[in-house]
Chain A
Amino acid sequence: MTLALATSLAERAGRVAAVAATHADDVDAAARFPREAVDAMIAERLLSIQIPPELGGEGASLSEIAEVCSLIGQNCAAAAMVFAMHHIKLSSLVSHGTDSEWHRAFMRRIVAEQLLLASATTEGGIGGNLRNSICAIEVAGGRCRLVKDATVISYGAHADAILITSRSHADAASTDQVMTVFTRDQYTLEHTQGWNTLGMRGTCSDGYLFTGEAPAEQILPKPFAEIAAQSMLATSHLLWSAVWYGIAVDAVARAQAFVRAAARKTPGTPPPGALRLAEAVNLLQLVKASTIAGLREYETAKADAERLSSMGFAVAMNNVKIAASETILSIVNQAMLICGILGYKNGTPYSLGRHLRDAHSAQLMISNDRILANTSNLLLVHRQDTSLTG
């Protein structure tokens, strides 16, 4: 992407962020889909920026998409997470669907119609491990059929298409999975679970019984194991971290405004929260540095399937997620201590309740315990890279 286009991307994202900010408190209070922000994304054509130019998109890099996630996340974390999750799904199509005629045509449709993609990887009974499926897709006569007890489909009721995992056939092992695109006219969703949560309330991650039927060519032509390793896990950890960074940035901005206001009232005397602010800014820089390093590593590894599937890369991406999800909680907590009762109360310029509640989701969306267990297993054979800059 050229510099001129990149500038305009920030401007477009800024306009979406302004809309998201206006409705963020209502989205949170009512636990409703951030319709206005997503409509603004559609108006700014942000849902197709990742698609390569030869299919009508803008070929935006993951770093550029992460920047948009952070900008929106500074105003409404739920809207930013919807944007992130859409682009995580899109990364699987862009990385693994460009050799398939149906998926190429579908990407052109996403550009033309600004379709919103959702994900259905969670299933009742798999214990949170998305690399396992119980349900199996049935393929017969060129058609595929799938029924899945999807306990979480974020914004499922508002999506135009769902990318859904299953076992590849009735006799397949639980880890032998495929991912299939179903468009809205090809499935029904029977509501099974609500989404009344502490934070991230606007993602509307309700549970549904999914029943779909579509032409079999809509099954992505690569095993889901490869899709997960080479696009989904890395883009999830990186774009989520970008959203979480956005939450932390705004918390620190509010804390800084609080400290500055106090400083102006008592020139010559450092305000009580000043040191805590310095500490919070230090932590914020750590999250930023870690996320940027992860994005650079991904951009470098992107062209190299071996590198993307390597243990070193998996360890690095796991660490980005762990660092961002744990550190933003400390940052928002510091900001709350700085702003005091005005941070604790809702409806003040320094309110941090929504930030704190949204930030608490970060350690749970793919449990950090699961990620650390995965890393610790890899470290039994993987040797760390001891170079500083390599």
Chain B
Amino acid sequence: MENDDMKQKIRDILARHGGLPMPVGELADDGDLYAAGLSSFASVQVMLAVEEAFDVEFPDSLLNRKSFQSIAAITRTVESLVGSAEAAE
């Protein structure tokens, strides 16, 4: 999957499940989602939706604030999982 497609999908998920006070379009790729108002409850909902959308499961080592700090960080986290799944095939 192209990186930009992935980012757009992640932005759509954030718009639906992030509960952010501003439109997701106003967020920079590296903008801090927690500072933007992402609650710990919403971050779990976003994780679930990302797992479903990309058919991946986050190992516990990636279930932390850093992996979900920004749109760019979520993209890197998903890429590392999709990449390792492709490599295993």
Contacts and interface: CB of A to CB of B under 8 A. Distances in A.
Given A173-B21, A306-B66, A381-B51, A312 B60 contact: yes
Interface string A333-374: 000000000000000000000000000000000000000001
Interface residues of A, number: 24
B3 interface: no
B8 interface: no
26 contacts: A131-B39, A168-B35, A173-B35, A173-B36, A174-B37, A175-B34, A176-B36, A176-B37, A225-B34, A225-B65, A229-B65, A306-B66, A309-B66, A310-B63, A310-B64, A311-B60, A377-B40, A380-B44, A380-B48, A381-B44, A381-B47, A381-B58, A381-B63, A382-B60, A383-B60, A385-B60
Contacts of B36: 173, 176
Given A173-B35, A173-B36, A374-B40, 15 more contacts: A131-B40, A176-B36, A225-B65, A226-B65, A306-B64, A309-B66, A311-B60, A311-B64, A312-B63, A374-B41, A381-B51, A381-B58, A381-B63, A382-B63, A383-B60
Contacts of A173: 20-21, 35-37
A377 B39 CA distance: 12
A309 B60 contact: no
Interface string A301-325: 0000010011110000000000000
A56 interface: no
B38 interface: yes
B37 A311 contact: no
Q: How large is the interface on B (under 10, 10 to 19, 20 to 34, 35 or more residues)?
A: 20 to 34
Given A377-B40, A378-B44, A223 B51 contact: no
B1 to A, nearest CB: 22
A175 B66 CA distance: 17
Interface in B36-74: 36-41, 44, 47-48, 51, 58, 60, 63-66
Contacts of A261: none
Given A175-B39, A381-B48, A223 B64 contact: no
